[in-house]
Amino acid sequence: MTLQEALRQGADLLAGGGVPSPRLNAEVLLMHAARCDRAHLYSHSERELTDSEWVHYGRYLKERLEGKPSQYITGHQEFWGLDFLVNPSVLIPRPETELVVEAALEIIREKLPTGAGCTIADVGTGSGCIAIALATELPQARVIALDQSPEALETAQFNAARLSVESRITFLQSDLLKPCSGEPLPPLQIVVSNPPYVSTQDTANVMPEVSSYEPPGAVFAGHSGMEAYARLIPQAAEALPAGGALVLELGYDVEEGVRKLLGAGPWDAMEWRRDLAGITRVVSARRVGSE
């Protein structure tokens, strides 16, 4: 079977199984099976698949039909133009999370263009996508990547090594901004986070490939969906100096609750950013006080 025929059959199979974006998924899985890029896939569309490639492709299609995300099948996901390794111990990086990176960079570069003198805490680092993107853009910044999961930290550290920024990122197991070692964090200038924000009451509305495959601790916050914000925002207020910044990714239904939490604390200069779907996705705020 040729690459062209395999792609067509795979896309038809995934479409019949109700998989979203079936052709794109078939492309990704076929490129992974054939160990080629998209240019090769189309410029050599008449190339015959080897027996091994066909067997692997068939297995990948079966796993995708069963609901396993393509990113966990291939082990890769692009974020901020960088290739991240992902596995079921970490949340798959989403395009909307790049808004967190954009907001943080704007804030930091106002006074510290290269990040010199800036220490950033990334709470719930997961794959390390936010921490590594910021370290890549700010060559003189110090980044502290925090997560409660040792497995996630191991994945993030491996990604940092692959992307040549491991020397500027410290990885710590923590409960939000509280390191499990009991040692205090160094003085911070900015806290960024994509915390869990899905309510456990909303499980039925979560896509099965998310609820069944992605790490529950990175997806579900608790009964209200506000639990992580309710703890992290006060912790950030304690950890940041006057003028320090907090940047948070938001769930689709938490804007009102987060507004109340920020309004009750020492925060001002709040900015709310919407994603391409018009959903308020990121908020940034400054800690009140004289610098």
pLDDT digits 0-9 by tens, 25-62: 999 999 999 999 999 999 999 999 999 999 999 999 99
Residue 149 has a pLDDT of: 98
Pick the more confident residue, 204 or 210. Answer: 210
Residues 207-246 as b or e (16 or more Cβ within 10 Å = b): eebbbebbbebbbbbeeebbbbbebbbbbbbebbeeebbb
The Cα 172–Cα 188 span in angstroms is 15
Pairing of strands 169-175, 178-179: antiparallel
Strand stretches in 95-212, DSSP E? 119-123, 142-147, 169-175, 178-179, 190-193, 198-199
Residue 290 has a pLDDT of: 52
Residue 205 has a pLDDT of: 85
Point out the least confidently predicted range of 68-82, 194-208, 228-242, 271-285.
Answer: 194-208
Q: pTM for the full model?
A: 0.94
CB of 115 within 8 A of CB of 108? yes
Average pLDDT of the chain to the nearest whole number: 96
**Cα radius of gyration (the chain):** 21
The Cα 60–Cα 47 span in angstroms is 20
Residue 240 has a pLDDT of: 97
